[in-house]
Amino acid sequence: MPTLGSYTCAVTAYLDHAATTSILPAAARVLTEHLASVGNPSSLHTSGRSARRTVEEARERLAAALGARPSEVIWTSGGTEADNLAVKGMFWARRTQDPQRRRLLVSAVEHHAVLDPAFWMTEHAGAELVLLPVDRDGVLDLDALAAELAAHGPRAALISVMWANNEVGAVQPLAEVVALARRYGVPVHADAVQAVGQVPVDFAASGLDALTLSGHKVGGPGGTGALLARRDLDLTPILHGGGQERGVRSGTLDAALLASFAVAADEAVGARPTSAPRLAALRDRLVAGVLELAPDAVLRGPADPARRLPANAHLTFPGCEGDSLLYLLDSAGVEASTGSACQAGVPRPSHVLLAMGVPEADARGALRFSLGHTSTVADVDALLTVLPAVLDRARAAGLAAGPGTPATAPRPDVASGVL
């Protein structure tokens, strides 16, 4: 058992699968099988055709796993690029069709891969950003969306609402979003990076116009992703060049990476009926165990298991700094996240928690535990074993260093472009 405070731990409990998860054995196998093969999928000779065949088989496999048509798959370098392509490409295309359509509607709890391009578009493309509020569980406020569309529907260029939140695990009411958007002819994009493999994701059934996928989050290799985009969705390219991927996303495709990505996505989706209940049970054990050891801790995100990702547990610990908790857990061999993706190395209170109305002082004591295909009861129990000592020290550090006066941080301001 790792000793609190020792830096060399024989056991590491990895509880940060939402950041990235280890590659699935089948995906690793496919990757290595193809790595040494020569052939540009765009070349016309035998090697080129062979590589193209690998890419197209991967495209078909990925599409089948997610209820999409192969021609709806646009390969990208990852989730971030797919989100950028969706936000920028859909906005420019829609605005070109109808110059009135400049309002860009995104939820206040989007990943930065959606939020930052949205802000960028306000500065460089004349977009009017509308940050859609969420409730205290992090779930989109549908009434606010309905009101926005009722007031400005004909001026809306697109809506981007994630399938499930990466920090607090809230599953968003996309069916309702799509139904509302249809009435006003507004295309909808969803970042489903965290959802695939955890909840059912069917592109055709969703009614979405575009959907973002990431390879490494589902047990595939890094550097892979895709945007599923309906054939009739107009997208202005953001990468120009050789005209690959319908001319929307130029760049030579990597057959080995994409084949591996498709296998991982297929496996993750196929395993979901058994893996999701298994992870949910582990998650429940984790949450119950933590709340027993720390009755003052608060589970963030929806309490209803049906409305949150099965592998996600997000808690705030009053009087503790997330920085301290992360350090203490790490030195005890337990790896978690402070919740917000550490932006370029600088921890900040999470914009997601702030948007949920969590006071900044509480938001600073956040920890996200996320499970994945390698997670076991032993991982959860390792956390529960070291947690009491970790919390004692983190609380002492919180008192010693003083909580500081809560800063008057600007709250996310709907429609003002200020987050």
Partner 1 sequence: MRVLAALSGGVDSAVAAARAVDAGHDVVGVHMALSRTRDQLRNGSRGCCSIEDAGDARRAADVLGIPYYVWDLSERFEQTVVADFLAEYEAGRTPNPCVRCNEHIKFATLLDRALALGFDAVCTGHYARIVDEPDGSRSLHRARDAAKDQSYVLAVMGRDRLARAMFPLGDVASKDETRREAANRGLAVSAKPDSYDICFVADGDTQGFLRTRLGARPGEIVDTSGAVVGEHDGAYAYTVGQRRGLALGRPAADGRPRYVLAVEPVHNRVVVGSADDLVVHVIEGDRAGWYVSTTHGPAALPADLQVQVRAHGTPVAARVEHADATSVRVRVAAGLRGVAPGQSLVLYDADRVLGEATVTRSWRSATSSDEPAGSDERAGSDEPAGSRDATTSDEAAVLPAGAHP
Of 154 and 388, nearer to partner 1 (C-beta) is 388
Of 299 and 366, nearer to partner 1 (C-beta) is 366
The answer to the question of residue 405 lying near partner 1 (CB under 8 A) is: yes
How many residues touch partner 1 (CB under 8 A)? Answer: 30
Tokens of 20: 């990235």
Least distance from partner 1 to the Cβ atom of residue 8, Å:
10
Least distance from partner 1 to the Cβ atom of residue 298, Å:
20
> How many angstroms separate the CA atoms of 104 and 87, rounded?
8
Tokens of 313: 């547990």
Sole binder of partner 1 in the list 1, 35, 377, 401 (CB under 8 A):
401
Least distance from partner 1 to the Cβ atom of residue 347, Å:
5
Of 322-351, which residues contact partner 1 (CB under 8 A)? 323-324, 326-328, 330-331, 342, 344-348
The answer to the question of residue 3 lying near partner 1 (CB under 8 A) is: no
Sole binder of partner 1 in the list 99, 273, 295, 402 (CB under 8 A):
402
Least distance from partner 1 to the Cβ atom of residue 336, Å:
13
Which residue's structure tokens are 């989007």?
110
Of 150 and 399, nearer to partner 1 (C-beta) is 399
3-state secondary structure string, the chain? CCCCCCCCCCCCEECECCCCCCCCHHHHHHHHHHHCCCCCCCCCCHHHHHHHHHHHHHHHHHHHHCCCCHHHEEEECCHHHHHHHHHHHHHHHHHHHCCCCCEEEEECCCCHHHHHHHHHHHHHCCCEEEEECECCCCCECHHHHHHHHHHHHHHEEEEECCCECCCCCEECCHHHHHHHHHHCCCCEEEECCCCECCECCCHHHHCCCEEEEECHHHCCCCCCEEEEECCCCCCCCCECCCCCHHHCECCCCCHHHHHHHHHHHHHHHHHHHHHHHHHHHHHHHHHHHHHHHCCCCEECCCCCHHHECCCEEEEECCCCCHHHHHHHHHHCCEECECCCCCECCECCCCHHHHHCCCCHHHHCCEEEEECCCCCCHHHHHHHHHHHHHHHHHHHHHHHHHCCCCCCCCCCCECCCCEC
- Tell me whether residue 9 is one of the annotated catalytic residues: no
Of 310 and 398, nearer to partner 1 (C-beta) is 398
Of 247 and 404, nearer to partner 1 (C-beta) is 404
Least distance from partner 1 to the Cβ atom of residue 245, Å:
30
Of 126-165, which residues contact partner 1 (CB under 8 A)? none
Of 35 and 342, nearer to partner 1 (C-beta) is 342
Least distance from partner 1 to the Cβ atom of residue 370, Å:
20
Least distance from partner 1 to the Cβ atom of residue 52, Å:
39
The answer to the question of residue 319 lying near partner 1 (CB under 8 A) is: no
Sole binder of partner 1 in the list 11, 150, 288, 396 (CB under 8 A):
396
Using the rule CB under 8 A, give the single segment among 202-210, 222-230, 246-254, 389-397 that binds partner 1: 389-397
Catalytic one of 11, 342, 378, 401: 342
Active site residues: 342
Binding site for partner 1 (CB under 8 A): 4-5, 7, 321, 323-324, 326-328, 330-331, 342, 344-348, 364, 393-394, 396-402, 404-405, 407
